[in-house]
Amino acid sequence: MSTPKRPSGNRADQDSIYHRLFSHPIMIEQLVRDFVPEAMALGLDFARMERVNAKFHSRRGKRREGDLIWRLPTLGGTDVLLHVLLEFQSTVDWWMATRTQVYTGLLWQHVIKEQRLGPGDRLPPVITIVLYNGDARWNAPRDTAGLVALPHDSPLWPWQPRARYYLLDEGAFPSDDLSRRKTLAALLFRLEHCHLLDGLVDLVDEVVGWFRQHPGYDELCSLFTEIIAQAAGTVEGSGGIRVPDDLLEVRNMLATRAQEWRRQLIAEGEARGKADVLVRLLRRSFMLTDEAEGRIRSASSAQLDEWTDRFLDAKALPDIFGETTH
Between CA 89 and CA 138 the distance in angstroms is 10
pLDDT in tens, 236-293: 555 555 555 666 666 666 666 555 555 655 766 777 887 888 888 888 788 888 888 8
Give the global pTM.
Answer: 0.71
pLDDT at 33: 93
CB neighbours (10 Å) of residue 273? Answer: 12
Residues in the chain: 326
Between CA 151 and CA 154 the distance in angstroms is 5
Domain borders along the chain are 11-193, 260-321
Between CA 8 and CA 209 the distance in angstroms is 30
pLDDT at 79: 64
Between CA 195 and CA 322 the distance in angstroms is 42
pLDDT in tens, 5-48: 454 445 555 667 888 899 999 999 999 999 999 988 888 889 98
pLDDT in tens, 278-324: 888 888 788 888 888 888 888 888 888 888 888 777 888 888 887 65
Q: Is 260 helix (H, G, I), strand (E, B) or coil?
A: helix
